[in-house]
Structure 1
Amino acid sequence: MTFDRDILAPDDPVAPDGDELPAPRASRRSMTLGISLLMTALLAAVLLVLPTPYAIRAPGPTEDTLGLQGADVRSGGSGEASGDGESATALPVVEIEGAETFDVTGELRLTTVSVYGGPGGDVLLGDVLWGWGSEERSVWPVEEVFPQQTTREQQQQVGQAQMASSESAATVAALTELGYEVPATLTVAGVVPDSGAEGVVEAGDVVRSLDGQEVTTHQDLLAGLDGVTPGDDVVLGVERDGEPADLTVTTGEGDGRAALGVLLDPSYDYPVDVTIRPGDIGGPSAGTMFALAIITKMTPEDELDGAHVAGTGTMSVDGQVGPIGGIQQKLFGARDAGADWFLAPAGNCDEVVGHVPDGLNVVRVATLDDARSAVEAIGAGDGADLRACS
């Protein structure tokens, strides 16, 4: 057997009598390199599954407030919910009794954010890296999403309480927008520390008047404060232990208006029975879409006319749309649910610009009246003239 010396290196061993060459032994350098690569891969794998001090926000499920609870998630919109092998008829997300309602075409979708991490749940490094590289997700230090020393159960309780308050405010705002008067009993639940009400107003006081003007609705109180300059004194008429009392309170400032510095626990006497079923959704950010659903169902005209509109925003009893968290994730959730339009709180517009998914039209709304007008314009085909976030 002969060998081509142009192929073999000068130092390559050659079998003198044509026997096969022995297999080359791995050099120390190549073995070290292989072991290093293996250890690096193992270390990377371990790091990817290590918990991190972060939370991730991602698009959450949506719900058509004009439809049936959970119908889209559980049965593709058929309205038949199933569980444990049996079917049951799903209930409306918003149900109205005591007033005439009308058929509606189209959708008004509330949007949500899914949060991973926080109390009782760790986010892994691999998830964090994915979140940093995703347009739809955002990564936050846990303490910026969840208050410290808060358990997941406590967070859920807070979210449920916020949702209950949101339902009440949305109902009052919607019925007021429709021309109803909603009587209220405004009981003081507490006072804000270091406010003018501290040491003057007591828990259990029932608000009856403001500067001599009778207060029978929540709107009466807010309208009275609209004419007060923050820092001025007002006379708050209350009922305490069954007896009337006039209390002089120095106002502060809150949400751009004079504030009493009291925490109210309102009880409303609704002229129409409205039931809202939010399911497992918590927090206050669905208020605007709940209010719109009530108005749309109680309006003879089919204002949506088949349009698919999503949105978000808190709702106050006097019809103010408030900003929320996770607006960018909600935009993508709306797009994924097939919405063509999105109603965004004016206070979130700076977070919207530059983050709108293709095919989604965003409309800026500051009040319930803005939102209602937007729905009417979209249904009429005039959405292009609406004000966008810019």
Structure 2
Amino acid sequence: MPRRTATMLASTLMLIALLCAGVLIKVPYAEMTPGPTVNTLGDHDGEPVLQISGHKTYPTTGHLNMTTVRVTSADYNMNLVSAVYGWLAHDSIVVPHNTLYPDGKTEQQSSQENAEEFSQSQESAKVAALNELKIPVKSWVIVQSVIKGSPSEGRLHAGDVIKAVDGAKVDKPADVAKLVTKHKPGQDVVFTIVPVKEAAAAEKAGKQATRTQNVTVTTEKAKDGRAIVGIQAGTDHTFPFAIDIKLADVGGPSAGLMFALGIVDKLTPDNLTGGTFVAGTGTIDDDGKVGPIGGIQMKTVGARSKGARYFLTPKDNCAEAAKDVPGGLTLVKVDTIDDAMTALKDVRTGRTADLPKCTAKG
């Protein structure tokens, strides 16, 4: 056999062997790719994403699209070839498996957590939108969750309204932790609560629950030495009219900003976008503060592929997003819902030179 032919055959066999090895070798990575993008002003699966009743609404035009990311499942075993392809591809990101599923979290656990975060983001979006429009919202502090096996199990329940801790009035969830950690582990804390059943019955009747009861919980020591009781405090709200967000098969908190803007748009006569295709992402809290999210580069790719021209980007995601901006897409930096409202005004009035744009420095 000629030397050249032998060399080519050996190289081909080696390449085949390497490819086979690459397919067989498993690596601890997962993949993120662009997911669906949905117009919060439009319909999804045949019904409006935002449904408002009990208050005047107005026609809307343009797009205020929320964006998503697809991720590989928790039990997906990526091989070396797929990892290399993902690293080289423009429309995917390969990340360590424990970035998406930390501490051995299963896909079911991750889905449940994402569903809870999605539900909470909807509530915060409603509150932020109505606050932006100066429409009053009634709020109160509740027991959001009780840790199994903690001192509070069986004594406090999810949905209990927390009126006071050790006689000190509670106005926001952070007050609860602050008052509990004043104690030393092993000391008693007295919670003044309205039990969840009574609170729910009063809300259904359109009344305010007035009867309270005191519940004593003995603190225990956390890993960092603090006194804890094993609850997560949160906020519940009563809205002056019905706002429903109809969007299934989506999880996580990152659509909060776009939901809030969609609600504002439907409740005001001015079209926020002026007919322009705007997409975006970002968590939002009750006060309208916008927070960072994961998978920002996949979200910009997904938004641009659907036609977005402007992308509302959380300030803390700007530097990462600016590393690889899809052609024709402008990244607009926002830190609050007020920032987003100002940016949308600039877009619809043509003052795009005034937009605060993301750069590699943030």
Classify the TM-score, shorter chain.
0.7 to 0.9
Query: Structure 1 pair 209/298, CA: closer, same or farther in 2 (3 Å)?
Result: farther
Separation in structure 1 between the aligned mates of residue 193 and residue 11 of structure 2, nearest angstrom = 77
Q: How does 1:272-291 map to 2 (within 5 A)?
A: 272-291=241-260
1:56 maps onto 2:25 in alignment: no
Query: Structure 1 pair 261/315, CA: closer, same or farther in 2 (3 Å)?
Result: farther
Would you say the 8 A contact 1:189–1:203 is kept in 2?
no
Candidates 142, 156, 164, aligned match of 2:111: 156
Q: How does 1:1-390 map to 2 (within 5 A)?
A: 26=1, 33=7, 35-50=9-24, 51-70=26-45, 90-116=46-72, 118-189=73-144, 203-204=156-157, 206-208=161-163, 221=172, 238-239=192-193, 243=212, 263-389=232-358, 390=362
| CA shift for structure 1 position 190 | 5.0
- Give the residue type in structure 1 aligned to 2:35: G
Give secondary structure in 1 for the equivalent of 2:108.
helix
Give secondary structure in 2 for the equivalent of 1:111.
strand
Give secondary structure in 2 for the equivalent of 1:60.
strand
Separation in structure 2 between the aligned mates of residue 300 and residue 232 of structure 1, nearest angstrom = 49
Structure 1 runs not aligned, ≥5 long: 1-25, 71-89, 193-197, 248-259
Separation in structure 1 between the aligned mates of residue 22 and residue 354 of structure 2, nearest angstrom = 48
- Give the residue type in structure 2 aligned to 1:41: L
- Give the residue type in structure 1 aligned to 2:257: T
Please say which structure displays the higher CA radius of gyration: 1
Query: Structure 1 pair 342/236, CA: closer, same or farther in 2 (3 Å)?
Result: farther
Q: Deviations over 1:211-244 (max 9, x none)?
A: 99976xxxx537x96xx9xx989x9973266545
- Give the residue type in structure 2 aligned to 1:318: D
| CA shift for structure 1 position 246 | 11
Number of positions where the alignment pairs a residue of Structure 1 with one of Structure 2: 325
Separation in structure 2 between the aligned mates of residue 120 and residue 129 of structure 1, nearest angstrom = 19
Would you say the 8 A contact 1:285–1:312 is kept in 2?
yes
Give secondary structure in 1 for the equivalent of 2:104.
coil
Would you say the 8 A contact 1:207–1:236 is kept in 2?
no
| CA shift for structure 1 position 109 | 0.5
Give secondary structure in 2 for the equivalent of 1:62.
strand
**Counterpart of 1:12?**
none
Q: Deviations over 1:75-118 (max 9, x none)?
A: xxxxxxxxxxxxxxx001111111111111110011111213x4
Q: TM-score, normalised by structure 2?
A: 0.77
Separation in structure 2 between the aligned mates of residue 190 and residue 277 of structure 1, nearest angstrom = 25
| CA shift for structure 1 position 290 | 0.5
| CA shift for structure 1 position 292 | 0.5
Separation in structure 2 between the aligned mates of residue 48 and residue 132 of structure 1, nearest angstrom = 14
Would you say the 8 A contact 2:141–2:172 is kept in 1?
no
Separation in structure 1 between the aligned mates of residue 36 and residue 85 of structure 2, nearest angstrom = 20
Q: Deviations over 1:41-76 (max 9, x none)?
A: 321331343343211222222111111114xxxxxx
| CA shift for structure 1 position 167 | 1.0
Query: Structure 1 pair 385/131, CA: closer, same or farther in 2 (3 Å)?
Result: same
Would you say the 8 A contact 2:144–2:235 is kept in 1?
no
Structure 2 runs not aligned, ≥5 long: 184-188, 196-210, 217-228
Would you say the 8 A contact 1:303–1:376 is kept in 2?
yes
Would you say the 8 A contact 2:34–2:302 is kept in 1?
yes
Query: Structure 1 pair 149/232, CA: closer, same or farther in 2 (3 Å)?
Result: closer
Give secondary structure in 1 for the equivalent of 2:141.
strand
Separation in structure 1 between the aligned mates of residue 12 and residue 125 of structure 2, nearest angstrom = 59
